Amino acid sequence: METDISAIKNFLGCDTPASWCEVAAAKLDILLIDHAHCEKKAASSAIVILFRYPEYEDLIFALSRIAREELRHFEQVIRILKKRNIPFRHLPPSRYADELRKGIATHEPSRLIDILIITAFIEARSCERFAAIIPYLDEELGRFYSQLLASEARHFQTYLNFAFQYATTDITNRIQYFREKEKNLILTSDDQLRFHSGISC
């Protein structure tokens, strides 16, 4: 059954440009290595929030499950790398997450809400990119990315739902603020290909 990502596409401020997909398909080794790093960082992000906000019991149980799932995805990508004889190695990260985090509020509970909103955007973009690049991939890799769509869509919704649940004021403006920042990062040029990079040269 196909995963409906219409809610994600409506949430994001733009679609992934075809030019990014074309470059990514031509540099699959870099894409897959960075994808592995992204899954590892997604697990780490969930665990950091879990440790920082232990008083939110429903949140920490949900993020514990997400962290385990992200680590399983990490292991799956590592196995794909090994099968394709692509050595896993360090890559300098993209500017994407750091630039989004520059807008995080410094006081609570606004800081937690912003972190949840940003993480929702990261998960949403991951899901949208999986869907966008599938037509450019070989059958095996396309099938793998198709399988990831549902979990990424679920992670996006989990983070966004908690942002609304814990907010003490209307967060529409904060979502729009980060939507514009995220859109700008996706539609401007980047000098390196990464899973969340902008338009690659």
Express each pLDDT in 53-63 by its tens digit: 999 999 999 99
- Report how many domains make up the chain: 1
116 part of a folded domain: yes
Q: Which of 3, 9, 4, 1 is nearest to 179 (CA)?
A: 9
Q: How far is CA 193 from CA 3, 128, 189, in A?
A: 26, 17, 10
Averaged pLDDT, 188-193: 92
**pTM for the full predicted model:** 0.96
Helix (H, G, I), strand (E, B) or coil at 199: strand
pLDDT band at 201 (very low <50, low <70, confident <90, very high): low
64 part of a folded domain: yes
Span 91-130, pLDDT tens digits: 998 999 999 999 999 999 999 999 999 999 999 999 999 9
* CATH code of residue 144: 1.20.1260.10
Domain that holds residue 131: 13-200
7 part of a folded domain: no
